[in-house]
A and B are shown apart, each in its own frame.
Chain A
Amino acid sequence: MNSVTQAKDKDIREDLSWSQINRDVLASLERPRATYWVLFALAFAVFLVGLGCEAYQYDTGLGVSGMNNPDVWGLYIATFIFWIGMSHSGTLLSAILHIIHADWRKPIYRFAEAMTTFSLMTAGLFVAVHLGRLWEIYYALPYPNERWTWPNFQSPLLWDAMAIFTYLSSSILFLYVGAIPDFAICRDYATGWRKTFYGKLALGWMGTDRQWRNFRVSYLVIACFLIPLAVSVHSIVASDFAMSQQPGWHITSFPPYFVAGALYSGCAAIITLFIILRHVFRFEEYMTLPILDKTARLTFAIAMVWTYLNCIEYATVWYGDSEVAKETLMQRATGPYSVYWWAMNFLGSVLPFTLIFKKVRANLSAMMVISLLLNLGMWLERWMIVTPTFSHGYYPWTWNHSFFPSLVQWGIVFGSFGWFGMLFMLFCKLVPSVSMYEVKEMVFHRKLARLHASQA
Chain B
Amino acid sequence: MMSHTILGSLARRGTVRAARAWLLGVLGALGLALVSGWAWAGDKVEQPIEFPHDIHAGKMGINCMYCHTYARRSKVAGIPPLRKCMGCHENIESVKDKPRIKKLFEYWEKKEAIPFKKVHDLPDFVRFNHERHIQRFYFQLGRPVQEVCGYCHGNVAGMTVAEKVEPLSMGWCISCHQKDHPDAPAGTRVNFPRMSLADSPAQEPKAETSHGPNDCWQCHK
Interface string of B165-179 (1 = CB under 8 A from A): 001011110110010
Chain B neighbourhood of A150, CB < 8 A: 192-193
CB of B6 within 8 A of CB of A204, answer no
Cα–Cα distance between A131 and B10 once the two chains are bound (Å): 41
Known: A145-B37, A146-B167. A203 touches B192 (CB 8 A): no
Chain A neighbourhood of B12, CB < 8 A: 204
CB of B10 within 8 A of CB of A146, answer no
Interface string of B112-132 (1 = CB under 8 A from A): 000000000000000000000
Interface centre among B36, B171, B178 (most CB of A within 10 A): B171
Determine if B9 is an interface residue (Cβ-Cβ < 8 Å). Answer: yes
Cα–Cα distance between A210 and B15 once the two chains are bound (Å): 18
CB of A144 within 8 A of CB of B193, answer no
CB of A214 within 8 A of CB of B5, answer yes
Cα–Cα distance between A217 and B1 once the two chains are bound (Å): 12
CB of B30 within 8 A of CB of A151, answer no
Chain B neighbourhood of A319, CB < 8 A: none
What DSSP secondary structure best describes chain A's contact surface? loop
CB of A149 within 8 A of CB of B34, answer no
Q: Using C-beta atoms within 8 Å of the partner chain, give the interface range for chain B.
A: 20 to 34
CB of A203 within 8 A of CB of B33, answer no
Determine if A452 is an interface residue (Cβ-Cβ < 8 Å). Answer: no
CB of B193 within 8 A of CB of A149, answer yes
Cα–Cα distance between A154 and B3 once the two chains are bound (Å): 34
CB of A154 within 8 A of CB of B169, answer no
Name A203's closest neighbour in chain B (CB-CB): B13
CB of B171 within 8 A of CB of A203, answer no
Chain A neighbourhood of B193, CB < 8 A: 149-153
CB of B170 within 8 A of CB of A149, answer yes
CB of B9 within 8 A of CB of A210, answer yes
Chain A neighbourhood of B172, CB < 8 A: 146
Chain B neighbourhood of A147, CB < 8 A: 37, 169-171
Cα–Cα distance between A204 and B13 once the two chains are bound (Å): 7
Name A148's closest neighbour in chain B (CB-CB): B171
Cα–Cα distance between A143 and B30 once the two chains are bound (Å): 7
Q: State the Cβ distance, A390 to closest chain B Cβ, in Å.
A: 23
Known: A148-B171, A148-B192. A211 touches B30 (CB 8 A): no
Interface string of A179-217 (1 = CB under 8 A from B): 000000000000000000000000110000011001001
CB of B33 within 8 A of CB of A145, answer yes
Q: State the Cβ distance, A407 to closest chain B Cβ, in Å.
A: 34
Contact count A vs B, C-beta below 8 Å: 57
Determine if A218 is an interface residue (Cβ-Cβ < 8 Å). Answer: yes
Cα–Cα distance between A211 and B6 once the two chains are bound (Å): 9
Interface string of A343-384 (1 = CB under 8 A from B): 000000000000000000000000000000000000000000
Q: State the Cβ distance, B15 to closest chain A Cβ, in Å.
A: 7
Instruction: Name the interface residues of B29-51: CB closer than 8 Å to any CB of A.
Output: 30, 33-38
Q: State the Cβ distance, B213 to closest chain A Cβ, in Å.
A: 12
CB of A146 within 8 A of CB of B171, answer yes
Determine if B196 is an interface residue (Cβ-Cβ < 8 Å). Answer: yes
Cα–Cα distance between A154 and B193 once the two chains are bound (Å): 10
Chain B neighbourhood of A210, CB < 8 A: 9
CB of A148 within 8 A of CB of B9, answer no
Known: A149-B193, A210-B9, A211-B9. A144 touches B30 (CB 8 A): yes
CB of B174 within 8 A of CB of A148, answer yes
Chain B neighbourhood of A214, CB < 8 A: 5-6, 9
Known: A203-B13, A204-B13. A146 touches B36 (CB 8 A): yes
CB of B171 within 8 A of CB of A145, answer yes
Q: State the Cβ distance, A69 to closest chain B Cβ, in Å.
A: 23
Determine if A301 is an interface residue (Cβ-Cβ < 8 Å). Answer: no
Cα–Cα distance between A218 and B5 once the two chains are bound (Å): 10
Known: A146-B37, A148-B174, A203-B15. A218 touches B6 (CB 8 A): yes
Nearest 9 interchain pairs by C-beta: A146-B37, A148-B171, A146-B171, A147-B170, A149-B192, A144-B34, A148-B174, A204-B13, A146-B169
CB pairs A–B below 8 angstroms (9 shown): A144-B33, A145-B33, A146-B167, A148-B175, A153-B193, A203-B10, A211-B9, A214-B6, A221-B2
Name B residues whose Cβ lies closer than 8 Å to a Cβ of A. 2-3, 5-6, 9-10, 12-13, 15, 30, 33-38, 167, 169-172, 174-175, 178, 190, 192-193, 196
